[in-house]
Amino acid sequence: MASIKSSSHDEAILRARSVFITGAASGIGFALVQEMLVMPSTIEHIFASYRSLDSESGKRLLDLSKTHTRLTLVEMDITCENSIKRAFETVQACLSNLGLHLLINNAGIGDHDTFLTATTKSMELFYKTNAIGPMLVAQDNNLLFISAVLAAWNSLPKTFLPLLKIGKETNYTKGRSFKAAVVNVSSQVASLSSPRTNYFSYGCSKVALNMITRCMSLELKREEIVVIPIHPGSVKTKSNEGGRMNPGDASLQILNVICNLQLNKTGKFLSYNGSQLPW
């Protein structure tokens, strides 16, 4: 897979010291991990969660973790609160006082149905996985990840602030575009302006995820934490075999968007190419 260095985005450097990405055993999640391991970055810790490593890419993720000490695999089912809590404790123990700089809520499910074929069961399953799951991962009322995200900034000794103001012109902080960020992988299918009737239960769950993300962005703006929903493009994955991009190319573009995130983007629905999508 081409690294972001060889793409047209030579300047893109991911200025985050710690990253947690969910749903990393396949598709876009796996491709994001692969790319983060080779791209120019300040990353010291990549936490990659998975529900199962049974897939081919799952086995490759396991192999990657054996050869890259920066990569830690974490078992987590986003539909299970206890599982999320256990994953958090693992990540927190590894990070100690560093905190988390970037959370990519990528785990989710996708499938077709329509208004006429949707059922209570399909609606509930998609909502629980694609909307409530990312909400739980980001919440802090159960000591989950946002508390770690906040710690990332608050734990910096306050006396360093003047030095940081000087340091922002030096290499380490040059181009750092966010203090901490939450990126929720949504879908253009969630756009009420141009809905797709053949992704009914999925679209309902993803538009709710957009609302979750909007509300999160408002709650966390004062902390200067950037929160966005992102459309990853039409990506060829298990649940979208007709996708136009391969996961590697999609992950390059998504990471380029993340590298360029600024606080003025918070709460906006961004596409993989950086453009803003209508709700």
Binding site for a copy of itself (CB under 8 A): 81, 114-118, 120, 123-124, 127-128, 131-132, 135-136, 138-141, 190, 192-193, 195, 197, 200, 203-205, 207-208, 210-212, 214-216, 218-219, 269, 278-279
What is the nearest approach in angstroms of a copy of itself to the Cβ of residue 219? 5
**CA nearest to 48, candidates 94, 9, 6:** 94
43/144 with CB nearer a copy of itself: 144
Residue 29 CB contacts under 8 Å (≥ 6 apart), including other chains: 21, 22, 23, 48, 104, 106, 107
CB 124, min distance to a copy of itself, A: 7
126 vs 272 by CB, closer to a copy of itself: 126
Residue 193 · residue 279 · CB < 8 Å: yes
Q: How many other C-beta atoms lie within 10 A of the C-beta of residue 272?
A: 23
**Cβ-based nearer residue to a copy of itself, 26 or 186:** 186
The nearer residue to a copy of itself, 160 or 279, going by C-beta atoms, is 279
Query: CA distances (Å), 244 to each of 86, 97, 102, 119, 250, in order?
Result: 36, 41, 27, 29, 10
Contact 101, 181 (CB under 8 A): yes
Pick the closer one to a copy of itself by CB: 122 or 239. 122
Give the three-class secondary structure for 225.
strand
The most distant pair of C-alpha atoms in the chain lies apart, rounded to whole Å, by 61
Q: For the chain, how many residues are written?
A: 279
Nearer to a copy of itself, 6 or 198 (CB): 198
Nearest distance from C-beta of residue 279 to a copy of itself, angstroms: 4
- Smallest gap from Cβ 27 to a copy of itself, in A, equals 23
Kindly calculate the radius of gyration of the chain based on its CA atoms and give it in whole angstroms. 18
Q: Report in angstroms how near the CB of residue 256 gets to a copy of itself at its nearest.
A: 25
**Residues 125, 81, 265, CA angle at the centre, nearest 5°?**
80
Shortest Å, Cβ 9 to a copy of itself: 29
Contact 227, 267 (CB under 8 A): yes
> What's the min distance (Å) between Cβ of 217 and a copy of itself?
9
Nearer to a copy of itself, 57 or 130 (CB): 130
